[in-house]
Amino acid sequence: MTEFQEYGFHGANLSRIAQRAGIAKGTIYLYYDSKEALFLAAVGKHVVSIMGESEAQVDVPGGTTKELLIHFLRGMYNRFVDSEAQAVFRILIAEGDRMPEVMRDYHAMTVQRGTTLLSKILERGVARGEVRPGSVVRMPHVLMAPTVFFAVHDMMFKNVKPVDFDSFFEAHIDMLMNGCLID
């Protein structure tokens, strides 16, 4: 994965991969039929391993809707901060076209899972009178958007102009609570 992430599929070099793995070049072919197969397996495996972690995150404890949201979103940020997760993310943006099934899986365990859980939290919140019903509840993607933005910004501009996580997270929570406008 590291190799694929650093160089992309075409740029990745099987000699280097073997070297990193501490095995001989030929050994790779005992386990994978081709570079492509290795690549797909590597990405697929990582995607699954992320799913595993995310499984744990889904099982949220009780609390106010605000607490639940904060807990959930912090979990998402944590996952995205992980460099392996970022590697998978980056490579799927770059090379996703060659692996539609992997993309389906990845979508299921990130966006799908995230929005489903958010929906539950929000709907329970609406029932409790803690959440204002409306288009945000129907499209909870916008609530998790800042996590993705942060990940992308981190990947791209870490060395240009990093964003302070705590401030960003605070603003994120602030926005989702009250928006920024006064009506």
Q: Beta-carbon neighbour count of residue 75 at 10 Å?
A: 19
What is the dihedral sign for C-alpha 111, 113, 116, 120?
Answer: negative
Q: Out of 40, 92, 99, 109, point to the residue binding its own copies (CB under 8 A).
A: 92
Among 23, 58, 108, 142, binds DNA (CB under 7 A): 23
Please, what's the largest Cα pairwise distance for the chain?
A: 67
Q: Which does 27 bind (CB under 5 to 8 A by kind): its own copies, DNA, none?
A: DNA
Name which of DNA, its own copies, none residue 165 binds, using a CB cut-off of 5 to 8 Å depending on partner kind: none
Please report whether residue 56 would count as binding its own copies according to CB under 8 A: no
CB 18 within 8 A of CB 24: yes
Q: 10 to 29, contacts with its own copies by CB under 8 A?
A: 10-11
**104 near its own copies (CB under 8 A):** yes
Task: Assess contact for 87 and 79: CB atoms under 8 A.
Answer: no
Q: In the block, which residue shows the tokens 């992980």?
A: 82
Instruction: Give the Cα separation of 33 and 151 in Å (integer).
Output: 33
DSSP conformation class of 96: G
Residue 44 in the binding site for its own copies (CB under 8 A): no
- Contacts by 56-64, CB closer than 8 A, 24 or more apart: 58/113, 58/117, 60/117, 60/121, 64/130
Among 2, 13, 57, 119, binds DNA (CB under 7 A): 13
The residue among 55 and 170 lying less far from its own copies, judged by its C-beta, is 170
Chain residues that interact with DNA, rule: CB under 7 A: 12-15, 23-31, 33-36
Residues that bind its own copies (CB under 8 A): 6-11, 65-66, 90, 92-97, 100, 103-104, 106-107, 111-112, 122, 125, 129-132, 134-139, 141-146, 148-150, 152-153, 155-157, 159-161, 163, 167-168, 170-172, 174-183
